[in-house]
Amino acid sequence: MLMGSNITDKAEKLIQYGADSVLVVDDPLLKEYMTEPYAKALTHVIQTYQPEIVLFGATAIGRDLAPRVSCRIKTGLTADCTGLDIDPETYLLRMTRPAFGGNIMATILCKDRRPQMATVRPGVMSALARDKSRTGEITNVEIQLDAQDCTVEILEVVKSEKTVSDITEAKYLISGGRGIGGPEGFGMLRKLAETLGSGADISSSRANVDAGWITKDRQVGQTGKTVRPNLYMACGISGAIQHLAGMEESECIVAINKNESAPIFGVADLGVVGDVNAIVPKLIDEIARVKESKSVQ
């Protein structure tokens, strides 16, 4: 479903990215996000088209809109999911999310109410490749919205400029845990990222964020961000379930840890047992040497 003002032309793009049909609600009152008109529009669409499943991104807007709509249509909502699949026997949506402070991963079913609703963390799903030859159905949905549907008035919208990189967009992530020894350890990881080149960035486990070694926007895991880079290098990270929930779908996982029984090795494609502070500098030198030899050739 696509909601907004003067956005009908964007529906074709959604078809190209994999949608078979797009329901469009185009109204001037939806130009900027406000809870009430958006909730009214989405509730109308759900009641009209009776979908089995409705998914939202677990963004600031999704987390505001989803519970309001679920309450209006009297169904359940599973928030902050890190995994979704369909039960092969019952065809129910299996919604997986961390529970009890992240100590377990709970799979939740909504058996008796429809639609089944969930908010899904950014980064959990990867976008399909764009196919400009795809065709699909675009339907304009008419909804009567008026000023009384707006409980607030937006006086000004100020766009903030992005000043830091977003780890969810990185192709290669060098992530540090308590094993790096201190905040200075991130300097070593930053150097490794710079050696890898464009698309590489650094991230962290929660312990280092709590210790003040690095900022919250760098945290991967249940209470941080979910990432799916081509390469995720876990340096000195033990691999608690809270952290695994945020990175286990990475394409290639390399773990460096001196504890050979660390849980991180259970999800790693390549494991190195040893002191991260001794291995990473050697890795930096070797990558630099290989890159230099290739440039000479």
Q: Are residues 254 and 174 in the same domain?
A: yes
Q: Are residues 123 and 46 in the same domain?
A: yes
Listed residue (288, 18, 274, 255) closest to 132, CA to CA: 18
pLDDT band at 246 (very low <50, low <70, confident <90, very high): confident
Percent of the chain surpassing pLDDT 90: 48
Helix (H) or strand (E) holding 139: strand 137-140
Boundary-marking domain end, from 104, 123, 149: 149
Q: Are residues 102 and 226 in the same domain?
A: no
CB 173 within 8 A of CB 229: yes
Residue 15 lies in a domain: yes
Q: Are residues 103 and 232 in the same domain?
A: no
Q: Are residues 93 and 138 in the same domain?
A: yes
- Segment 132-170, tens digit of pLDDT: 899 899 999 888 888 887 888 888 888 776 556 788 888
Q: Are residues 89 and 179 in the same domain?
A: no
Q: Are residues 228 and 179 in the same domain?
A: yes
Q: Are residues 108 and 9 in the same domain?
A: yes
pLDDT value for 8: 83
Considering only residues 122 and 171, tell me which one the structure prediction assigns the higher pLDDT.
Answer: 171
Average pLDDT in the chain: 88
Report how many domains make up the chain.
Answer: 2
Query: Cα dist. 14→23, 27, 84, 99, 161 in Å?
Result: 11, 19, 21, 33, 26
pLDDT at 19 over 80: yes
pLDDT at 115 over 80: yes
- Segment 43-95, tens digit of pLDDT: 999 999 999 999 998 888 999 999 999 999 999 999 888 888 998 989 999 99
Q: Please, what is the angle between helix 35-49 and helix 60-72, to 10°?
A: 50
Instruction: List the domain range (segments joined by +) for residue 106.
Output: 2-149
pLDDT value for 138: 92
Helix (H) or strand (E) holding 43: helix 35-49
What are 208-217's contacts with CB under 8 Å, separation 24+?
208/176, 208/177, 208/178, 208/180, 208/183, 211/178, 212/183, 213/182, 213/183, 213/185, 213/186, 214/176, 214/183, 214/186, 217/164, 217/166, 217/167
CB 219 within 8 A of CB 206: yes
- Where residue 222 sits, what CATH number does that domain have? 3.40.50.1220
Strand runs labelled E in 53-114: 53-57, 77-81, 83-86, 93-99, 104-108
Residue 118 lies in a domain: yes
Residue 162 lies in a domain: no
Residue 89 lies in a domain: yes
Boundary-marking domain end, from 149, 178, 203: 149
pLDDT value for 151: 80
